[in-house]
Amino acid sequence: MSVANRNYKREGIRNFKKFINLTQTFFLSSVGLDIIEGRRLGVHLWDVETEDKYIDCFCSAGSFNVGRRNPEIVNVLEDALESWDMGDYLFPSGPKVALAEKLVAVAPPGLQHVMFCVGGGEANDSALKMARGITGRQEVISLAKAYHGHTGFALSAIGKPIYRDFFEPLLEGFTQEPVINDLETVDRLAGNDTAAIILELVQGESGIFCATQEFVEGLRRICDERGITLIFDEVQTGLGRTGKMFCCQHYDVEPDIMTVAKSLSGSLYPISAVIYNQRIRDFMEENPEVMVSTSGGSDLGCIVGSASLDYLVKNNIPEHAAQMGDYIGDAIVELSRKHEGLIKEVRRKGLMIGLEYTHDFMGPLMSLFLGKNGVMAFFSSNNLKVMRLMPPIVITRQEAEQLIMALDRSMASAKRASQLVEFADDLPLVGRIIGIPEIQIFAIMVAKTLRKIIPKK
């Protein structure tokens, strides 16, 4: 470990706290993952100072499907830098056309048109605007616990008050009442004023809740009967993550609009897309000037997006994700039996795997122990019990074995630690205090600091 790297890290964290975000550094440090990313390759990243190596199971919330710094895609970008730049959004270009053609080739057959944006929120904003534009209606139904991004329309569709409350009033006409798979409530709410129903087929941010076949088919039927636009947000589920190129292909149900972002970037250059059908196209053609994104569909972004799609298709990565999802998911179910009492539920589709622990304190504890065993995974800040495991879907069998081994060891440590906490929980006052999440995280920090202060024998 070099002094230069140590200083770089110290200064980096200090200045991040000062200029960007104090709480985030506190949170990361509380679970021993106060790293600064150094080397990154495939499923791994290394801390710049300690050079500790981690399997990245967070992946910027599922953004690195093709792996970090995938050499093939890095080469394409390096070559592209010789002659391309962002490009002017106004002009047609080869890279824009190539990526659009590739996207519609892998998308459900009715989705033949593309608008490019930069991020997932912007793509969802555009999709919702298209739905209002084509229907001339105002109301939008999204789901409780939904996550669609922090831009205006997307934020209005988010189903978690914690993200919305400070910014009310948001856009009118949005409801997030139905929980996933509650078709009856959607049926009651969807009417002649409904412009769109938007959903994630697997709710990612809220902890991996999967839509049922019956629910998705029911939504399509309701939308067809009542002239409502059906939007699938495939920002996290798309591009192979769930074991098919797009999650909707598991259900064989086609939306009117689908949004894609995150991994279209090839982990290198942000870009997102809205892919839509002929009905929406009519509105877009009649009103060509109403939706524009200067940096969306940049030539460099499109070149990288094309290389990423080529990589996924050529190497049959969605199929590989299905196999690895089964392998890792089945092993976790086994581990939950072995370390009985630790895991309440395992929810999964492909390599979107959600663990729901039995106690709140288990999420932070598992992040801490997994970090010690070379795996980076986080509990949800809104639900400490829930942890998402979303490694790059190019993960090899050998890397998957390492991940499973790390989970096994971490669960054993968490089980031991939980016995202590449960004991404390039974003491009247202590029990009440340790129910508070901030106290739990604080206690973990104190324990870590003590471990550093108290000399080893």
Ligand X SMILES: Cc1ncc(COP(=O)(O)O)c(C=O)c1O
Residues lying near ligand X in the complex (CB under 6 A): 61, 119-121, 124, 147-149, 200, 204-205, 233, 235-236, 261
Nearest residue (CB) to ligand X, 119 versus 318: 119
**Smallest separation, CB 318 to ligand X (Å):** 18
**Smallest separation, CB 18 to ligand X (Å):** 24
**Smallest separation, CB 263 to ligand X (Å):** 11
Nearest residue (CB) to ligand X, 134 versus 157: 157
Measure the CA–CA gap between 290 and 7, rounded to whole angstroms: 49
And the tokens for 282? Answer: 């009519």
Q: What is the largest CA-CA distance in the chain?
A: 76
Question: Could you check whether the bond before residue 169 is cis, i.e. omega within 30 degrees of 0?
Answer: yes
Contacts of 174 (CB under 8 A, 6+ apart): 139, 140, 142, 156, 157
Nearest residue (CB) to ligand X, 156 versus 410: 156
**Smallest separation, CB 215 to ligand X (Å):** 17
Nearest residue (CB) to ligand X, 67 versus 296: 296
Core vs surface per residue 68-101: b (16+ CB within 10 A) or e:
bbbeebbebbeebeeebeebebeeebebbebbbe
Sign of the alpha-carbon torsion through 154, 159, 160, 164 = positive
**Smallest separation, CB 233 to ligand X (Å):** 5
Nearest residue (CB) to ligand X, 258 versus 335: 258
**Smallest separation, CB 351 to ligand X (Å):** 15
Nearest residue (CB) to ligand X, 194 versus 263: 263
β-strand pairing of 272-276 with 257-260:
antiparallel
**Smallest separation, CB 308 to ligand X (Å):** 15
The partner residues of 54 in beta bridges, in order of sequence, read: 45
Nearest residue (CB) to ligand X, 233 versus 399: 233
**Smallest separation, CB 286 to ligand X (Å):** 27
Contacts of 207 (CB under 8 A, 6+ apart): 145, 347, 354, 356, 380, 383, 386, 388
Measure the CA–CA gap between 158 and 142, rounded to whole angstroms: 7
**Smallest separation, CB 255 to ligand X (Å):** 14
Nearest residue (CB) to ligand X, 232 versus 369: 232
Nearest residue (CB) to ligand X, 382 versus 402: 382
The residue whose Cβ lies closest to ligand X is 120
